Amino acid sequence: MTVFLASLFLPKTVYFRLPHTPPAGERRSQKPTSKKTPKRPPLELRTSLFPDPAITPPKTPEEEEGYLGDGFFVNEDGLRVANVSDDEEFRSPAPADKQSPKWGGRANQPKSRANSPPPASLLEHARTFEKAKELGRQGVVQPRVTRSDSHDRVFANANWRIVNADQGNGGLRNAAEAAARDGHSDEYSWVGTLGMPTDALEGTQQKEDINDRLVTEYNMYPVFCSDKDFDGHYLHFCKQILWPVFHYQIPDNPKSKAYEDHSWQFYVNLNQAFADKIVKNWKRGDTIWVHDYHLLLVPGMIRKKLPDAKIGLFLHVAFPSSEVFRCLAVRKQLLEGMLGANLIGFQIHEYCRHFLQTCSRILAVEATPEGIQLEDRFVNVMNHAIGIDPVSLNAHRQEEEVMKWIGIMRERYKDKKIIVARDKLDHVRGVRQKLLSYELFLNKNPQWRDKVVLIQVALSTGEKTDLDAAVGDIVTRVNSNWANLAYLPLVYLKQDIPYSQYLALLTIADALMITSQREGMNLTSHEFIVCQDGKYSDRKHGSLILSEFTGTSSLFGNKELTVNPWSYRQCSEAIKQALEMPEEEKTERWEALREVVGQHTGGHWFSKFLATLDHVYDEQHRHDQTSVPRLNLNSLGQRYSRTQNRLFFLDLEGTLIPYGPMNEIIPMNPQRTLDILNDLVDDPRNTVYVMSGRRPEELDRLFRLVPNLGLIAENGCFIKNSRTSAWTEVADHDRVTSWKESVRGILRYYLERTPGSEIEDRNCSLIFHYKNAEDYANAERQASDWTGHINESCEEQRVHATQLDDCVVVESIDWTKDTAASLVYQDMKAAPEGLDNHPVDFLMVVGDGREDEKVYKWANNLKSQDGIREVVTVSLGSRNTEATSTLTQGVSGVLVTLQKLASLS
């Protein structure tokens, strides 16, 4: 079957050969004319709420000096200087984290018809309008960028060809190719945009021909959306709103609100276009795999049209904590869109945990370590880091061009230690912090001057920023202080470099320095480790200086030199440690890192995610309420009659008696229930236990007229054997007292802020009731916060909080209904009490709540593990379940079933 890989950009794009365009060689040979053009007076083309940044370079940090924060954040992608001719297909491979060129900026592709972004605010718009009028009165006319119809019409008839795209998710592309090479059998089809404006092709035969050729020859389904939708989606919402939030840079400038209001609908439109394209081509049995933060709504949109589709989602970037994510105005819509998937993947456990906590707090759903329990289905989560393709990388390292550059740079820096860095020039990547740390290192270690060089490759974002100026000033200052005719301490390249030079740099480097302030997974570090094997250079086993805020840091087990990029002192000391590290230690660290990189390859990640998706999809469908058969009474009666030692576990509230609030007294005379239980226990072959979350004394009072009835109280913390009258406390009293003290303090804090609420203290649990709160709506909203707070702060104490109707229940995860049921079974197995000492051959569990699911799972496993002849698990709920059968008649249906079984005894 087909795997649809949905990513924003396709691996292919289209280049047009426009008429009257000189060949590439001619264009390159043309010299600029010396004709002078009249100069215009300088104009401030972009207004700002802030004064111009100071021209003075940032002050060199001293050892204990604090950090003064930067101003605006900038977006992820931007211009990348790439010497790609219009007439030659760009076939060179690229680093796994290669950046995208500016959308709509190529001469051989159509220009965008999208309007300009919205003004920062109404006040800003008025200020800009007044300034324009003033300039008009002065006779100054600002240039206008216009698009002629002829510009668009020329693409309708121009020759075109399909070429490799140099934008998009390089790591995903490499992983898919590696998995195919390693024998992954599934056929996969790409779904994405062409990475260029397409309004100029609307209604033309060119568009149909491009679509048909991509589908038939390349197995790629292009998504055509309006330029306005793509511009608003990608350049506005993704880059100005989502990207900063996912990297802990909350958009707090005036423009962000305008961008959010303006561009959210465009984000929805593009996601809908992706969903429609996939739905149109989907066949039963196909797999849909959606990638990254650009397409978070697609899983939910597909789920509405295809309820049974197999959908996976993988987030390649970091996922922030709930406190950051909740700053998004559309937080609920994004989470609900993500939860349309069957499986959601993250790079590392930290991001996975953040997602679970965010869903729990914002959507008030039950979050477990395995995933999210929705009302009608379960969504699994997993973390598995993407990697590189070492096989392909090693093949490229052998190329002649790479060898040439290794020789050039080895000769150029033969007496120097080389520190290499390659980053996008934005605030997230920490280039400024890195250069200041290097300057501090040179200040504190004069013996290393003339002996070390930092080569910083900075991928430009295409526009001048305060960061750009600050970094340039630091570079100038470092080189002016320590450079001479034969030595340049800091080589700063504000451009990307060819792939051959990139690999040569990684090969001859003594250290790689990465100081990202937040990053999902930095694959440059993986490529560096592979290149440091010493096969093509006498320099080998170089040190990796890595920010603790990258996802990669959690994989490497402290074999890298971990740094906090905000600590200039720590970073400078890490540089010194890397340069002075003994060869034995360098070798030991490198071997450990190489083993990790070899385990976390792109091909393995690709295959592992799809295999996990297949598994969880089958599990989810097996447990889906519509897939679980109704309980057949006739068949149940036959199975019951041919057994000799029967064990029942029956839930109380909602199963044997109608459900009632936990803090209200049970009705004292559920006579029909008591009569049926008496009939069941009258048969010596039957052992019956009733499970409840209530206190032991409450259950004693209710069932005092049913002799030989076993009881499990407080969800497994107390057990009363069916043959005795004494209760056994299963839970560790000291441990319970300890965690209660911690949780009680948290609940009291919220109690003071929620008038009308109350705390119920049970033997082994605490319950926060807010049914009678003065402001019930607010209390219900805040309940998810209480739940998340307790789960986060008390995780090590093995405590879990669950939000139920009108209350939050806090109890231990070590003593539950299934642990109590297991103890009862083990006791019966050790000393069977049934007739003629028969082992248990009939086990029946009936319940209606989510806490009963673990008991169903335990019972179902016993059938295969212990060979129990008949195992019957019955759920009364309408949600997905581990039970093997369902009853839809509620309490009445349970009583009828038990009465029929009792009559067969």
Higher local confidence (pLDDT), 8 or 129: 8
Q: Are 553 and 587 in contact (CB under 8 A)?
A: no
pLDDT digits (tens, 9 = 90+) for 653-689: 889 888 765 555 555 458 889 999 999 999 989 999 9
Give the number of other CB atoms < 10 A from CB of residue 664.
8
Residue 676 CA to residue 689 CA, distance in Å, equals 13
**629: helix, coil or strand?**
coil
Tokens at 575, concatenated: 């540089």
Backbone angles phi, psi at 120, to 5 degrees: -60, -40
Residue 823 has pLDDT above 60, yes or no: yes
Residue 851 CA to residue 658 CA, distance in Å, equals 17
Confidence of residue 83 (pLDDT cuts 50, 70, 90): very low
**286: helix, coil or strand?**
coil
Residue percentage of the chain with pLDDT more than 90: 44
pLDDT at 309: 95
- Helix axes 431-444 and 568-580, enclosed angle (nearest 10): 60
Residue 85 has pLDDT above 60, yes or no: no
Residue 91 has pLDDT above 90, yes or no: no
Backbone angles phi, psi at 712, to 5 degrees: -125, 115
Distances in whole angstroms, Cα of residue 63 to Cα of each of 194, 305, 446: 50, 60, 15
For 598-609, b/e burial (b = at least 16 CB within 10 A) is eebbbbbbbbeb
* Amino acid in position 136: G
* Amino acid in position 514: I
Distances in whole angstroms, Cα of residue 208 to Cα of each of 201, 215, 227: 9, 11, 17
pLDDT at 657: 87
Backbone angles phi, psi at 75, to 5 degrees: -85, 175
Beta strands in 710-773 (DSSP E): 710-713, 718-720, 727-729, 758-761, 765-769
With a CB cutoff of 8 Å and minimum separation 6, the contacts of 702 are: 666, 668, 670
- Helix axes 853-865 and 817-830, enclosed angle (nearest 10): 30
Q: Are 633 and 900 in contact (CB under 8 A)?
A: yes
Q: Which of the residue ranges 137-141, 640-644, 765-769 would you say has the lowest mean pLDDT?
A: 137-141
Concatenating the DSSP letter of every residue in 799-856 gives EEEEEETTEEEEEESSS-HHHHHHHHHHHHHHS--SGGGPPP-EEEEEE-SGGGHHHH
pLDDT digits (tens, 9 = 90+) for 736-754: 888 888 888 888 888 888 8
Residue 64 has pLDDT above 70, yes or no: no
With a CB cutoff of 8 Å and minimum separation 6, the contacts of 778 are: 754
pLDDT at 661: 56
pLDDT at 120: 41
pLDDT digits (tens, 9 = 90+) for 490-526: 999 988 889 999 999 999 999 999 999 988 888 999 9
Residue percentage of the chain with pLDDT more than 70: 83
pLDDT at 77: 35
Residue 833 has pLDDT above 80, yes or no: no
Residue 473 has pLDDT above 70, yes or no: yes
Residue 523 CA to residue 526 CA, distance in Å, equals 5
Confidence of residue 59 (pLDDT cuts 50, 70, 90): low
Q: Are 773 and 759 in contact (CB under 8 A)?
A: no
The sign of the CA dihedral 442, 446, 450, 451 is negative
Which is nearest to 756 in space by CA: 742, 768, 741?
768
Backbone angles phi, psi at 3, to 5 degrees: -105, 115
Backbone angles phi, psi at 417, to 5 degrees: -85, 135
Which is nearest to 320 in space by CA: 308, 328, 310?
328
Strands 12-17, 159-164: pairing is antiparallel
Confidence of residue 255 (pLDDT cuts 50, 70, 90): low
Confidence of residue 55 (pLDDT cuts 50, 70, 90): very low
| Mean pLDDT calculated for residue range 335-363 | 93
Beta strands in 442-494 (DSSP E): 452-459, 490-493
* Amino acid in position 400: E
Which is nearest to 299 in space by CA: 278, 325, 327?
278
Q: Which of the residue ranges 110-114, 190-194, 546-550, 556-560 would you say has the lowest mean pLDDT?
A: 110-114
pLDDT at 82: 33
**514: helix, coil or strand?**
strand
Residue 33 has pLDDT above 50, yes or no: no
pLDDT digits (tens, 9 = 90+) for 353-363: 999 989 988 88
Q: Which of the residue ranges 92-96, 485-489, 700-704 would you say has the lowest mean pLDDT?
A: 92-96
Confidence of residue 219 (pLDDT cuts 50, 70, 90): very high
Residue 14 CA to residue 37 CA, distance in Å, equals 36
What does pLDDT average to over the chain?
Answer: 83
Residue 432 has pLDDT above 90, yes or no: yes
**868: helix, coil or strand?**
coil
pLDDT at 129: 55
pLDDT at 35: 44
Query: To which residue do tokens 């076993």 refer?
Result: 710
- Helix axes 524-531 and 499-508, enclosed angle (nearest 10): 60
pLDDT at 723: 80
Backbone angles phi, psi at 420, to 5 degrees: -110, 145
* Amino acid in position 560: E
For 442-467, b/e burial (b = at least 16 CB within 10 A) is bbebeebbeebbbbbbbbbbbeebbb
pLDDT digits (tens, 9 = 90+) for 565-585: 999 999 999 999 999 999 999
pLDDT at 367: 86
pLDDT at 96: 53
Query: To which residue do tokens 């581990």 refer?
Result: 882
Residue 236 is classified by DSSP as I
Q: Are 3 and 161 in contact (CB under 8 A)?
A: no
pLDDT at 666: 58
If 0-12 CB within 10 Å is exposed, 13-18 middle and 19+ buried, where does residue 434 land?
buried
Strands 187-193, 159-164: pairing is unpaired
pLDDT at 156: 77
Q: Where are the alpha helices (DSSP H) in 682-725?
A: 696-702
pLDDT at 368: 85
Q: Where are the alpha helices (DSSP H) in 642-732?
A: 671-681, 696-702
Q: Which of the residue ranges 85-94, 205-214, 539-548, 555-564 would you say has the lowest mean pLDDT?
A: 85-94
Helix (H) or strand (E) holding 359: helix 349-363
Q: Is 195 left (phi over 0), alpha (psi -120 to 50) or beta?
A: left
Residue 3 has pLDDT above 80, yes or no: yes
Q: Are 331 and 324 in contact (CB under 8 A)?
A: no
With a CB cutoff of 8 Å and minimum separation 6, the contacts of 833 are: 687, 723
Q: What is the CA radius of gyration of the chain?
A: 33
Tokens at 631, concatenated: 């309980």
| Mean pLDDT calculated for residue range 525-553 | 92
Residue 85 CA to residue 40 CA, distance in Å, equals 32
Confidence of residue 270 (pLDDT cuts 50, 70, 90): very high
pLDDT digits (tens, 9 = 90+) for 859-900: 998 887 877 889 999 998 777 888 899 888 888 899 999 999
Tokens at 321, concatenated: 């904590």
Tokens at 55, concatenated: 């021209």
pLDDT digits (tens, 9 = 90+) for 389-427: 999 999 999 999 999 999 999 999 988 999 999 998 888
Which is nearest to 612 in space by CA: 863, 864, 361, 380?
380
pTM: 0.80
